[in-house]
Amino acid sequence: METDFGGGEDVLFSRRGKAGIITLNRPKPLNAINHSMIKAIASALEAWRQDDQVQCVILKGEGRAFSAGGDIVAVYREGRAGNSPHAFFADEYRLNSAIAHYPKPYVSLIDGIVMGGGVGLSFHGSHPVITENALFAMPETAIGFFPDVGGGYLLSQLGAYGRYLGLTGHRIAAGDLAASGLIRTTVATEALPQIEAELCDGAEVDALLARHAIHIPRESDKETLAEINDLFSRATLEEIVEGLEASGSDFAKQTLEMLSARSPTSLRVTFRQITRAEGRSIDDCLVTDYRILRQMLIGHDFYEGVRAALVDKSRDPSWQPATLEDVGEDEIERYFSAPEGGDLEL
């Protein structure tokens, strides 16, 4: 049974048996999430929360990606037109919180690319499930942004490995993602239709996923993981960079090259965001994300990064400030202060 909660053709809703199904339906832009989709999904979750006939929610994506993130180009254009796009992010973060606290099983079937806003829609739910095709990243520092949507909360749980992923934006495949602990279950992509059908029939979620679970070995070797744990567990960003410079390994050289291409401001903010998130609740972290977001939207690097990566596609961002040394502590402190108008209410 099809149900309309808004969002047009970009996101589809249906009721099948005992499940409410959400399908991200923008395959060409890799299911990039826009504002109307966020509001529609929030409406659906609220309606299904109160519907005793809906025992679980299923979230999936159409096409080769689950979701590559938020529709950042649309946000860029809004900002460049003089319209502050912070309402998009406020509603997105509220949705992330609602998913994290949802009282019914929330099963995300992640088959393909999952990044940024797609992570926020799926990983905070009770049952994020990946297939062997999963490809994960929080690549925001490459566009002068930061791992929002509760990304700091998630990455802080991984210790040094989370810092590495957040700072570099490095993409990891299913084996490394499963081993990280961010997801609970890996299944074969060919099993997804059967899993969906059984959920609609009212199957107990944990037992069902356990029956279909498979193991995929890590892609990263032990030496690389040991170097990440050593270097990215250091107390400051400067110590991490110094350690990479002193290492001389191929991994260290590649990582330094990645970091040198990232926004220095984003690196400073992201390092503090992730370390600050340790031991905090998801809601605390989302409030912090909104503080950072409001400052990013009036700064330079976000718009410059999106221009270079996604609009002109010239890959030549001119960051301001241009080096880590030029980003002062006073400057970073502003990103963690309450914005004009007050903190986000969840």
Catalytic residues: 70, 117, 140, 148
And the tokens for 194?
């059967």
Helices 222-231 and 250-261, packing angle to 10 deg: 50
Per DSSP, the residues of 160-229 read HHHHHHHHH---EEHHHHHHHTS-SEEE-GGGHHHHHHHHHTT--HHHHHHHHB-----SS-HHHHHHHH
Of 120, 158, 114, 119, nearest to 133 (Cα)? 114
Write the DSSP symbol of residue 107.
E
Residues whose CB falls within 8 Å of the CB of residue 291, separated by 6 or more in sequence, listed in order: 335, 336, 337, 338, 339, 343
And the tokens for 119?
């992570």
Residue-wise burial string across 99-119, b where 16 or more C-beta atoms lie within 10 A, e elsewhere: bbebebbbbbbbbbbbbbbbb
| Inter-CA distances, 171 with 27, 177, 292, Å | 20, 10, 23
Phi then psi for residue 268, to 5 deg, are -65, -45
Of 117, 123, 98, 93, nearest to 47 (Cα)? 98
β-bridge pairing 185-187 and 127-131: parallel
How crowded is the C-beta side of 286, counted as CA atoms within 13 Å? 23
And the tokens for 271?
């390092």
* 206 C-beta neighbours (distance < 10 Å), count: 13
